[in-house]
Structure 1
Amino acid sequence: MKKATLPEEKRSLSQGNTNTSNDAQNARLAVHLRQGQSDTFTIARDLNICRPGARICDLRNRGYKILTNLITLTDEWGRTHRRVAMYTLIAEPSVKEAA
């Protein structure tokens, strides 16, 4: 059986996103949110995070301040989705200095 391959532009998006542990997903998500706001669909597709809301909860529990706005979004197939979460990183946990 021949293995399916992704086109080059899609392959580059998925590089480095194969680790699906919670810690790896949280790290990818934190880096992504530092670059600007992002919606649930984009996080799932580009970062290989199946449950973005759960990872947002993890980050909040670690001290990240993340604002959630609900938006209406049209997907790549032209379907409209209401109440899609758009996340914005407001602040990161403070780094404690060694005594």
Structure 2
Amino acid sequence: MNKKKADQQASHKNTHVENPSGTAQRARLLERLQAGPIDTFTAIRELNIVRPGARINELRGLGHKILTHRLTLTDDQGRTHQGMALYYLSTNPPAGVTA
């Protein structure tokens, strides 16, 4: 039997936050990056992406120009974390950060 692989491009209906597939996670993250910068905690909490760094690496491998700025963030429990990532598209840097 000759089965064809499903199209690897995520359609809008497949990018819902409940969809755990890597394709859907990359689509959600790229859509969010097009709106502006996103940090690790926000990607985990709002986009349901457990390993945002891995998805960023995959998007970079697909040719997207994504940059990283390191900063100190406080989590939901009030703990401080140094060196957390703020991701942004090179065409859309956050205020105060030069691409």
Q: What is the TM-score of this pair, normalised by structure 1?
A: 0.74
5+ residue gaps, structure 1, are 1-15, 92-99
SS in 1 for 2:41: helix
Q: Using the alignment, how far apart are the partners of 1:77 and 1:37 within structure 2?
A: 23
- Structure-to-structure mapping, 1:42-81, within 5 angstroms: 42-81=42-81
Q: Using the alignment, how far apart are the partners of 1:21 and 1:75 within structure 2?
A: 25
Q: Using the alignment, how far apart are the partners of 1:83 and 1:58 within structure 2?
A: 21
5+ residue gaps, structure 2, are 1-15, 92-99
What is the CA-CA distance between 1:84 and the residue it aligns to? 0.3
Per-residue displacement from partner, 1:8-67 (whole Å, max 9, x unpaired)? xxxxxxxx2111111000000000000100100100110000100000001000000011
Bigger drift between 35-44 and 69-78 goes to 69-78
SS in 2 for 1:50: coil
Partner of residue 25, structure 2:
25
- The runs of 4+ residues in structure 1 deviating greater than 2 Å are none
Q: Using the alignment, how far apart are the partners of 1:86 and 1:73 within structure 2?
A: 10
Percent identical pairs in the alignment equals 54
What is the CA-CA distance between 1:75 and the residue it aligns to? 1.5
What is the CA-CA distance between 1:87 and the residue it aligns to? 0.3
Partner of residue 83, structure 2:
83
What is the CA-CA distance between 1:76 and the residue it aligns to? 2.2
Larger CA Rg, structure 1 vs 2: 1
